[in-house]
Amino acid sequence: MLITPAPLQFAPDGTPCSDAYGDVYHSADGGLGQARHVFLAGNDLPGRWRGRDRFVILETGFGLGLNFLAAWAAWRDDPQRSRSLHFVSCELHPFQKEDLVRLHARWPELAPLAAELRANWPALVGGVHRLNLDGGRVSLTLFFGDVRDGLAQLAVCADALFLDGFSPTKNPEMWSAKVFYLLSRLAAPDATLATWSVAGEVREGLRRASFVTGKAPGFGGKRQMLRGHLYPHPRRTQAVTPPPALRHAIIIGTGAAGSAVAERLAARGWEIETIDAASGPGQGASGNHAGVLRPQPSFDDNRMSRLTRVGALYGWQHIAKLTAAGGAIRADACGVLHLARDPVQAGKMQAVVSRLALPDALLRDVDAATASEIIGWRVALGGWYFPGCGWVQPPSLCATNLAAHPQAIRSHWSRHVARIERRGERWHALTLDGDTIAAAPVLILAAGVGMPAFTQAAPLPVISARGQVSVLPAVAGSAPRAVVCCGGYVTPEVDGRRCAGASFDVDDPEPALRLTDNQANLARLETFLPGYTARLDAATLAGRVGFRPVSPDRLPMVGAIPALTVAPPPASLSTLPRHPGLYAVSGFGARGLAWATLAGELLASQIEGEPLPLERELVESMDTGRFLLRRHRTYSVTNDDD
């Protein structure tokens, strides 16, 4: 969805306003005072979050972010605050970061928090964005788009509702019966609400949606405001998922998937034990010298397109945070250039850019001359350019994930898990002799192509795809200066070498390097960088073979593992029985870097019962049980990097 930023406009008295809606963003008597009186006090905060493990606030209009900043500040100042704070909000017209600088300057007491918010401000792209703030203790989940779409797609159980937005007479869609119904569906049984509006249609709409409301003294010159709570109903399906009683998990596999889940759970206070047959992290499919982290756009902006986009954005955000904290990740957002194969494809790629209308900082179309200048090598056609993306050295990312929380993550190296068993309330990871390597209430399988070895993972159709990458000698500063893709890929120089590849062969178990694959990698490289391979001899090149776990529909598999192998009709994802405390994260294929960190955040949120960092339809598209509902469908797996 095209996102149009809010213009920076002010009423005659200096209050931020929107000419398009003919209304102000907050009371002329003071925005921060309104936030504290109407939304915090109106929901009995901070009192209601005290002594709780987590507290979730859902808001219908983010605007300047003032309600969020006020809630965050009050939460930080409260010594009895909840362990974590989750704030979820929808905004159709978000402000650009540079405009927020000017707007937030009005409240210097919020300056440190406002600066952190702006430092993490996402690209203005439609959909859900997850921001981890305050050392991970505060989570901001933003939906950019129409509030009705956002509330229909958000997965949240809210303890408090902030009904904010332009006046019902100016923006009736935000106060519609559909919005009120969706809010009641997303509200916890004891949820409260507050809003500055006391309009009759608002009160009646909320009543019809099962809210009980009453008038209370308003803020400033406004005589009244509205407070309310959800009316208890025995048939309500929304229920609060309690946090685990014991935050202790085993993760089998320390590649991009396993290490990401380990870091995301450890950031939430979990004790993690990782197990790997290798002697260190990232030695399987995640062991390449350099890989590409970028989105994969499509004309219809399908689920893969959206998942790779949000995955790439979240992945680079994660790398920046780990690096700022001292992590030794080898990565460079040097730019990624995806060249067109021929003029016909070039036209199609231009159409994709026009249709998606993404910010130039994320995706833009470039001609042959610009492409040649970007990479330092003459090419015949242009294509897509991703300025904020680039290469990552996967083993360094895996190692940094595990090292980010040294007191919480313990690794068992060179240990092979032959099987897993649930004994009482704990999962046991067992050796071939039956010895327990580790035991915990939660176990996560991130074993790559080794997933089929576990009988409990039978519902997951993991396919092995052999990929051979060629390693080319390189001189610092030599072309290409950015990653180049076109059926294959080649990276810039990294420590005197660059990677080119890669082959993609399903159910091919050969672990040794093959000359024919090196030759094929060079042939692909020559098609999009003419003359580049003239002095390269395939017979002398080094390389690496990896086996990537692929799903039949090429989307990741993330979530609780079904406890059956055949789904009896009628069945749905929500009704499938699952193994208690057993989860999987797999099926990344060639997009491990684009999906790993996002999948780790999603799985950690699911296990904790938190608001999810993705739209419901995207979460369902990755559910581990989806294949049980598709018994009569056949698949073919191909490498479709173009």
Could you tell me the CATH number of the domain that includes residue 120?
3.40.50.150
Cα 98 to Cα 418: distance, rounded to the nearest angstrom: 54
The model's confidence at residue 128, banded by pLDDT at 50, 70 and 90, is very high
- Both tokens assigned to 188: 């916890």
214 found inside a domain? yes
Q: What percent of the chain has pLDDT over 70?
A: 97
498 found inside a domain? no
pLDDT of residue 326: 95
What's the length of the chain?
Answer: 642
Whether the per-residue pLDDT at 632 is higher than 70: the answer is no
Residues 105 and 186 in one domain: yes
Sign, CA torsion 135/272/56/4: positive
- Both tokens assigned to 80: 């009895």
pLDDT of residue 248: 98
Residue labelled with tokens 């999948």? 599
Whether the per-residue pLDDT at 135 is higher than 70: the answer is yes
pLDDT of residue 285: 83
Classify strands 158-163 and 187-195 as parallel, antiparallel or unpaired. parallel
Spatial neighbors of 136 by CB under 8 A, at least 6 apart, are 267, 268
Classify strands 138-144 and 84-91 as parallel, antiparallel or unpaired. parallel
Q: pLDDT tens across 293-319, in order?
A: 999 999 999 999 999 999 999 999 999
Q: pLDDT tens across 37-55, in order?
A: 999 999 999 999 999 999 9
Q: pLDDT tens across 157-166, in order?
A: 999 999 999 9
The mean pLDDT of the chain is: 94
N-terminal to C-terminal alpha carbon distance within the chain: 22
What is this structure's pTM?
0.96
pLDDT of residue 54: 96
Instruction: Tell me the CA distances in angstroms from 464 to 26, 394, 418, 552, 627, one per residue in order.
Output: 55, 19, 19, 11, 17
Residues 175 and 324 in one domain: no
- CB atoms under 10 Å from CB of 123, counted, come to 18
Cα 312 to Cα 612: distance, rounded to the nearest angstrom: 17
With contact defined as beta carbons under 8 Å apart, do 420 and 455 qualify? no
- Determine the 3-state secondary structure of 641 from DSSP: coil
- CB atoms under 10 Å from CB of 435, counted, come to 11
The model's confidence at residue 634, banded by pLDDT at 50, 70 and 90, is very low
352 found inside a domain? no
- CB atoms under 10 Å from CB of 564, counted, come to 15
Residues 20 and 152 in one domain: yes
Residues 397 and 312 in one domain: yes
Among the candidates 230, 257, 273, a domain finishes at 230
628: domain CATH number?
3.50.50.60
334 found inside a domain? no
Q: Count how many domains the chain has.
A: 2
Q: What percent of the chain has pLDDT over 90?
A: 91
Spatial neighbors of 352 by CB under 8 A, at least 6 apart, are 297, 298, 299, 384
Whether the per-residue pLDDT at 241 is higher than 80: the answer is no
The model's confidence at residue 427, banded by pLDDT at 50, 70 and 90, is very high
- Determine the 3-state secondary structure of 470 from DSSP: strand
Q: pLDDT tens across 317-356, in order?
A: 999 999 999 999 999 999 999 999 999 999 999 999 999 9
- CB atoms under 10 Å from CB of 437, counted, come to 17
Among the candidates 230, 260, 285, a domain finishes at 230
Spatial neighbors of 433 by CB under 8 A, at least 6 apart, are none
Instruction: Tell me the CA distances in angstroms from 285 to 51, 67, 254, 392, 418, one per residue in order.
Output: 44, 44, 10, 14, 20
pLDDT of residue 235: 57
Q: pLDDT tens across 445-472, in order?
A: 999 999 999 999 999 999 999 999 999 9
pLDDT of residue 631: 64
219 found inside a domain? yes
Residues 224 and 264 in one domain: no
pLDDT of residue 280: 95
Whether the per-residue pLDDT at 185 is higher than 60: the answer is yes
Residue 325's domain spans which residues? 248-297+307-329+390-462+551-642
Residues 126 and 60 in one domain: yes
Q: pLDDT tens across 255-289, in order?
A: 999 999 999 999 999 999 999 999 999 998 888 99
338 found inside a domain? no
Residues 34 and 125 in one domain: yes
Cα 603 to Cα 282: distance, rounded to the nearest angstrom: 20
Residues 112 and 187 in one domain: yes
pLDDT of residue 239: 64
Q: pLDDT tens across 6-49, in order?
A: 999 999 999 999 999 999 999 988 999 999 999 999 999 999 99
366 found inside a domain? no
- Determine the 3-state secondary structure of 360 from DSSP: coil
- Determine the 3-state secondary structure of 637 from DSSP: coil
347 found inside a domain? no
pLDDT of residue 435: 97
Residues 74 and 144 in one domain: yes
With contact defined as beta carbons under 8 Å apart, do 459 and 355 qualify? no
Residues 25 and 118 in one domain: yes
Across the range 233-259, mean pLDDT stands at 83
The model's confidence at residue 423, banded by pLDDT at 50, 70 and 90, is very high
> Strand runs (DSSP E) across 426-567, as ranges?
426-430, 436-440, 442-445, 463-473, 483-485, 489-490, 497-501, 505-506, 542-550, 557-562
Whether the per-residue pLDDT at 567 is higher than 90: the answer is no
The model's confidence at residue 635, banded by pLDDT at 50, 70 and 90, is very low
Among the candidates 184, 200, 230, a domain finishes at 230
Residues 78 and 159 in one domain: yes
- Both tokens assigned to 641: 């990097």
Residues 412 and 445 in one domain: yes
Across the range 586-605, mean pLDDT stands at 96
